[in-house]
A and B are shown apart, each in its own frame.
Chain A
């Protein structure tokens, strides 16, 4: 007798579909992947293997994408470290740069901070790190291993210390420089400004004269600008520093106490920047710059000078249409120059389950060899003096010819204000008010007064 329960085509397809769906969902739980392998030079770890008591440990190493070369270098660091320490797997997680803060903040807020990550002290002030106990304190490890920190530039190391405790190792130490279109200068018969940061001859007035000579008009339309105002925080603050003023006043501990932009020298520097766009007409206004892009305008050969940091040098190296170089920043009323900067560090979260292993990896990626690896792929200003003075970093073959100025400028770095509420003051008060300076709506005095009135309240609160 034939079986009564015959499976129809429809029933079969339904069952097969549901099975496939279930199997697919089960497959979603992909196992953690090993770090991607790649070619290229890599730091050779010289440390002895770290013992983990036989247990295999996975360190999450989170870093923003600096460029494709840096990602490969970090993959190689992870691979080399695991080869040396087979029980420690380093899971390198590159995060797109513009979304890095979102990722890091989510990881910390959810209680799953990375074991090792690139710490941005301008986003999370060091005082916040110390007060909220966010990072692993490194001093016990430094003492235990007698780890030599003397090669790091002292001011770079100081960025990560608070109340005598160290919360990160310096990765880089950047600043602002003047980038020049040499062809435009040469066409006008102009001598490029000095690249020597000790030379005090290059003044605001000399700069304005250069910018005016480089600006070209066809009728009412400007077809070439002498300068491009970089409206980024550190670039504009550098003008304030070079005019002998500061952005904030500090107490003995170095904590910001109040806004000091109402100082006449600060106001003068800010007004100078606005005048470059609206009075002298030697720099494109923000609407033109936003439409065409800052670097893009320079790279298209329509801007003579702009301020940028050495991390962007790889981008300049793609320019083939004209010769370019770097110089110092113009000096106003200050006796010596100041350039807004700082840098980033390598840190481990306090909540890491594997502090010993994280420390070993921190040493691995902060070594001289590791910094040289990063020099090899560009976009860094090393924090180790031996590296920033090395022939590899000072190699002029890829440009700029005055690359030594990058090393010298580290002596003139002015760090960002330190205060738990500085990121809030900056976002809520400084940025919004400075926009009215850039748009020409308010004068520098009005902007400085507004920033002081609103910012001081937040500092006090």
Chain B
């Protein structure tokens, strides 16, 4: 019986494939090399921070700089958390941040829902007015707000740092509204036919479909609140109420800075931000690139 062997690819096809394969490999290699270079470049400040945080005080200014500390001083971390009441400041910051995340996420999504999904008189005008609030520098309202909170007896409490965030914010409302606009309206109509109220549509339909933007809002709010300085500076007075951003500045003196301690404390304080970003980065990027949502 004659055995028919599979037709062999012609030499010209083989050469074409392997050339394409090599070309693709070459392109990937270039992309990877560029990405690795970019990553190294972005990580240099972090590496410098880690290096400084482990140096003896006298080695901070050495030239040429020593990347690997000798001796490695883990003691700096102990000293940093003991120089300021680190745990107390950490707890205060975490409390304020969690409350702000809850308040802001609820208010922003609710307002964005009204702007994106409901028809009401003056909606578009009010949306422009809200956006124009973005142009208002926060320093303009600093003293009137301070006087207001003073009248309310809220100075040296966390309330001025938290309560305003229960009333939304223009940028995040805008971001969320844009995301909501991409969700098909048919879903609202179907829900309403089934007897859903406006709040029901928001709560049962829109929110469950908006995880990426909600996570993006949470990360942005977390990052801003964790690092917020100006309002904490103005409203908090007692040392026991300080947040981490205030506490870290305590290492920067009138004429000198304890860089080794500042870097150690800064690294510890940025850990939660890094952790949250690593866990939720997929959703975060989806939420920011709101035009490409999978609705």
Q: Which residues of A contact B (CB under 8 A)?
A: 21, 24-25, 28-30, 32-36, 60, 64-68, 70-71, 91-99, 102-103, 106, 109-112, 295-296, 299-302, 308-309, 311-312, 314-315, 318-321, 379
Contacts and interface: CB of A to CB of B under 8 A. Distances in A.
A103 B147 contact: no
A379 B257 CA distance: 12
A49 B196 CA distance: 70
Interface stretch (B5-13, B54-62, B117-125, B128-136): B54-62
B77 to A, nearest CB: 15
29 contacts: A25-B162, A28-B157, A29-B154, A29-B157, A29-B159, A30-B156, A30-B157, A30-B158, A33-B240, A34-B240, A36-B240, A64-B254, A65-B254, A66-B253, A66-B255, A67-B253, A67-B256, A91-B237, A98-B252, A102-B230, A102-B233, A106-B146, A110-B147, A295-B61, A299-B61, A300-B61, A312-B255, A318-B61, A379-B253
B238 A318 contact: no
Interface string B194-221: 0000000000000000000000000000
A99 B240 contact: no
B251 interface: yes
Contacts of A321: 58, 61-62
A110 B146 contact: yes
Given A67-B254, A315-B256, A110 B150 contact: yes
Contacts of A67: 253-254, 256, 258
Nearest to B238: A33
Nearest to B249: A96
A120 B15 CA distance: 79
Interface of B: 57-63, 83-85, 95, 99, 102, 142-143, 146-147, 150, 154-159, 162-163, 229-230, 233-234, 237-241, 246, 249-258, 261
A286 to B, nearest CB: 20
B234 A36 contact: no
A109 B143 contact: yes
A65 B239 contact: no
Given A65-B249, A95-B233, 12 more contacts: A24-B99, A25-B163, A28-B99, A32-B237, A33-B238, A64-B254, A109-B143, A110-B147, A311-B254, A318-B58, A318-B61, A318-B256
Which of A67, A71, A112 counts the most B-chain CB atoms under 10 A from its CB? A67
Contacts of B84: 68
A320 B230 CA distance: 36
Contacts of A65: 249-250, 252-254
B75 to A, nearest CB: 15
Nearest to A103: B233
Nearest to A60: B237
Nearest to A65: B250
A21 B85 contact: no
Contacts of A309: 255
Nearest to B242: A94
A33 B239 CA distance: 7
A378 B259 CA distance: 17
Contact of B251 (A29, A68, A296, A300): A68
A99 B233 contact: yes
Contacts of B254: 64-67, 97, 311, 379
Contacts of B162: 25, 28
A352 to B, nearest CB: 15
A318 B57 contact: yes
Contacts of A302: 63
B255 A311 contact: yes
A58 B158 CA distance: 20
Contacts of A94: 239, 250
Given A29-B159, A109-B143, A311-B255, A68 B237 contact: no
A112 B146 CA distance: 10
B82 to A, nearest CB: 10
Given A96-B252, A318-B58, A321-B62, A35 B233 contact: no
A301 B62 CA distance: 8
B165 to A, nearest CB: 11
A268 to B, nearest CB: 30
Given A28-B159, A64-B254, A321-B62, A93 B239 contact: yes
A299 B62 CA distance: 7
A259 to B, nearest CB: 28
B238 A32 contact: yes
B241 A30 contact: yes
B253 A93 contact: no
A106 B142 contact: yes
A359 B95 CA distance: 38
Nearest to B56: A320
A367 to B, nearest CB: 21
A30 B160 CA distance: 12
A296 B230 CA distance: 28
Given A111-B147, A319-B61, A97 B238 contact: no
Contacts of A35: 239
Contacts of A296: 61
Given A25-B162, A66-B253, A36 B147 contact: no
Contacts of B60: 318
B63 A301 contact: yes
Contact of B150 (A36, A70, A112, A320): A112
A339 B254 CA distance: 19
B234 A103 contact: yes
A320 to B, nearest CB: 3
B256 A314 contact: yes
